[in-house]
Amino acid sequence: MRASGRGHVDVVTFLVEQGTDLDHTDTDGYNALMCAVKNRRTEMARHLVTIGANTDQIGIDGKRARDLAEESGLAEMIDIFRAAAEQRENADG
């Protein structure tokens, strides 16, 4: 979680290659994607979405990463989540 919150794409990539679960939560209930959003790490959020992070996972506060981005007015991140949702819809149907 720390690596994603600090924007260390190379470290996160290495950890995922070693089998780290992207959707594992920290003691505050946040997964890597939520940590990236909370720390305003746009490129990290984009990377995590690209490599398959669960964009719909709900934290212990009842919020998804997208909700956190919307609350903070992070337009570029909101666009990342919209694009991911559209891509899933197109793949499903």
At 93, is the pLDDT very low, low, confident or very high (cuts 50, 70, 90)? low
Identify the structural domains of the chain with CATH numbers, from first to last. Answer: 2-92 (1.25.40.20)
Give residue-wise pLDDT tens across range 10-69. 999 999 999 999 999 998 899 999 999 999 999 999 999 999 999 999 999 999 999 999
What is the pLDDT, as a whole number, of residue 84? Answer: 94
What is the pLDDT, as a whole number, of residue 49? Answer: 97
What is the pLDDT, as a whole number, of residue 18? Answer: 96
Taking the model in full, what pTM does it have?
A: 0.92
- CA–CA separation, 39 and 71 (whole Å): 13
SS3 sequence of the chain: CHHHHCCCHHHHHHHHHCCCCCCCCCCCCCCHHHHHHHCCCHHHHHHHHHCCCCCCCCCCCCCCHHHHHHHHCCHHHHHHHHHHHHHHHHHHC
